[in-house]
Structure 1
Amino acid sequence: MKELYDQTKERLKTIEDYLKPNVKIHTIWECEFDQQKYPEVDPHLKPIDKRDAFYGGRTETIQLYNNLSDLKEHITKIVFNEKYKDISTMILDENIVLTEYKEKEEYSKPNPSVNVYIALFTTAHARLKLYELLDILQERVLYMDTDSCIYNDDGSEACKKVENMMGSKLGDLTDEIVSKHNANHIKQFISAGPKDYSMKLDTEKLVSCCKGFRLNAEVEEKITLDKK
């Protein structure tokens, strides 16, 4: 591909030198790709966790690729390819090399699911809604994050005002204890910071979140409300 590119640039320069200054040349580059009908799944290719992206899932950063291949393919397609940067190589054995690399910006295709403007608006609007809640609830707030808030419902006018803000329309608040966990209220709650909390609901169900840990059945036995 690079050889063809260099040849085309050389021919273009020859034409420009010959025709200048009477003719202005516009160059159109075209490339055809054959799409696989059933592409193979690469188990080593994973997107960066949305928690590590500043504005969440809609602005996930460009993926860091991991590739396991034989040594010859690795050297010819990765190390000497001008498309890639930040190349890190580890030789696992005489036949296998582990490589991590990123595509340079000029070669990166934009992710169709990424929309910075929508992410900026929704995040900013969620923050404004959160500040409105904090202003109403004051010291009743137990936990808060970008788009969530846990508070002590003491039956006050402030809490009733928050209840009236709940609904199913865009911009309304949602009671996830009811809609997501099929319960009515929280019996116990403990938190060590953002995305790090555990709570017991009135149905005796335990709900935990611990940043950096995937809470499967085995992990949930060790990271619980009682062992936090």
Structure 2
Amino acid sequence: MPQTEFVADPCRFYEILLDERLKDINVIYVSDEMVQVNYRYIETYVENHYNTNIFVALYTTANARMRLYEQLNRLDKYVMYLDTDSIVYSDNGKNTIPHSDMLAEWTDELDGGYIQKWVATGPKSYHYVTNTGKVVTKVKGFTLHHKNALKINGAAMEKLIDSEIRCVSVQDNQITRDPETKELINKILTKRFSFGFDKRVITQDYDTKPYGYAY
């Protein structure tokens, strides 16, 4: 995490410059008697928080991954999309995943409904419509307010997948702070949304195979 200090003492200034625990040191002159120093700690020297337990964290994460892989192995080709803690799959009536509201159990995010239409262009970028008419569109890195949602939606995702278009460009106002003057600046930022699936090899029938798979 970046750190910032306003330094007026020359001794403290040289302490920061010569500190082997620090990296990415950046100096900004504020006045004739003061400078702003930005820096980061090298990961080796980052102190763990007093209430952090790395072993509990590792066990919890590993156990969750085992539960995920267990279901992926059982569902096999019926898996349509997955994330670190969720699975979207085609239910054939025999492979339904049991769910409940208990801790460490799978939960139903559709409240008993089901997805009628599903489109995904990459990790954390998807669009779906349920049998109740609920429409959900999520794209990592983009805020889908009304203006952006007119361009980034299910129809656009389908065109990206079918290679009818290469990308979708949107513009957003972004408020940033000038590091020297400390003034807030309103900038127009252009971002491009495109098909970004590179985890596996896509075959001609839209199936996917792992890299190195022998066809």
Distance apart, 1:207 and its partner CA: 2.1
Distance apart, 1:75 and its partner CA: 6.9
Q: Is the Cα contact below 8 Å between 1:87 and 1:101 reproduced in 2?
A: yes
Question: What per-residue deviation string (whole Å, max 9, x for no partner) do you get for residues 1-30 of structure 1?
Answer: xxxxxxxxxxxxxxxxxxxxxxxxxxxxxx
Q: Is the Cα contact below 8 Å between 2:5 and 2:38 reproduced in 1?
A: no
- Is residue 173 from structure 1 mapped to residue 111 from structure 2 by the alignment? no
Letter in 1 for 2:15: F
- Bigger relative contact order (CA 8 A; separation at least 6): 2
Distance apart, 1:195 and its partner CA: 1.8
- Is residue 207 from structure 1 mapped to residue 136 from structure 2 by the alignment? yes
Structural mapping, 1:41-190, within 5 Å: 63-65=1-3, 67=4, 69=6, 73=8, 77=12, 80-81=15-16, 82=19, 85-89=22-26, 91=28, 99-103=37-41, 108-112=46-50, 114-155=52-93, 157-159=94-96, 162=97, 165-178=98-111, 184-190=113-119
Distance 1:166 1:74, change over 3 A: farther
Question: What per-residue deviation string (whole Å, max 9, x for no partner) do you get for residues 94-113 of structure 1?
Answer: 78976541135686442346
Provide the rounded CA distance (Å) in 1 between the counterparts of 2:38 and 2:104.
41
How much identity, in percent, do the aligned residues show?
Answer: 29
Distance apart, 1:202 and its partner CA: 3.0
Q: Is the Cα contact below 8 Å between 2:25 and 2:40 reproduced in 1?
A: no
Provide the rounded CA distance (Å) in 2 between the counterparts of 1:75 and 1:203.
67
Distance apart, 1:173 and its partner CA: 0.7
Q: Is the Cα contact below 8 Å between 1:206 and 1:224 reproduced in 2?
A: no
Greater Rg over alpha carbons, structure: 1
Question: What per-residue deviation string (whole Å, max 9, x for no partner) do you get for residues 81-106 of structure 1?
Answer: 23851133264887897654113568
Distance apart, 1:211 and its partner CA: 2.7
RMSD: 3.4
Distance apart, 1:148 and its partner CA: 0.9
Higher helix share: 1
Provide the rounded CA distance (Å) in 1 between the counterparts of 2:14 and 2:131.
57
Q: Is the Cα contact below 8 Å between 2:28 and 2:36 reproduced in 1?
A: yes
Structure 2, unaligned runs of 5 or more? 158-215
Higher strand share: 2
Structure 1, unaligned runs of 5 or more? 1-62
Q: TM-score, normalised by structure 1?
A: 0.53
Q: Is the Cα contact below 8 Å between 2:80 and 2:90 reproduced in 1?
A: yes
Match of 1:5 in 2: none
Q: TM-score, normalised by structure 2?
A: 0.56
Q: Is the Cα contact below 8 Å between 1:74 and 1:97 reproduced in 2?
A: no
Distance 1:218 1:122, change over 3 A: farther
Match of 2:155 in 1: 226
196-205 or 79-88, which deviates more: 79-88
Letter in 2 for 1:193: G
